[in-house]
Amino acid sequence: MRIAVKYSAYNARRYGRPWIGKITNWPVGGKPEMEWGRYIGTDDGGETEIEARPGDIIRTGQKDNRGNNTTAKWAVVKGDGSIEYIDATEARHLWDARQAAPAPVTVIDWSSISDEELLDEAKRRGLIK
C-alpha cells in the first residue's frame, strides 16, 4: 500500500528535501538498511511516499542545513495504512518481533477442485505420470 507523509512549505536554502525510507534489514549492532521512497512536491510543500505493508518500520524526516532542526522520525505502518510514530527502541523491538514471527501461510479451499482436476494438474507439472 502507498504510505504518504505530508510536508508543508519550507525554506529550500535552509532545509533539504524531505525523505522517507522503509527498513529492509537491521543487523544486530549495526545501522538499519533502507529502501528509499520519493518526495513529490516543491519547497511550497508536498509529500513523501513509499510502498509498505502493515507492520513495516519506516523513517521520515528532513535535514536542516544549519544543523539544529533536523528531523528523523521512526514510525510503524498500521493495518489501515496510517502510521504511528514511535521511538528507536520500540522500532527495534517491533523489527525483531516481526523477523521472529513465522511467515503467513496461505490457506487454499480445495473443496471446489475435483480429484480429476488435481490429478490433471499434477500430471501437467510432471509430478506424476
pLDDT band at 128 (very low <50, low <70, confident <90, very high): confident
Q: pLDDT tens digits, residue range 84-98?
A: 999 999 999 999 998
Lowest mean pLDDT among 20-24, 32-36, 42-46, 98-102: 98-102
DSSP secondary structure, 5-32, as one string: EEEE---TTTB---EEEEEEE--TTSPP
- Mean of per-residue pLDDT scores for the chain: 92
pTM: 0.76
Average pLDDT over residues 16-41: 96
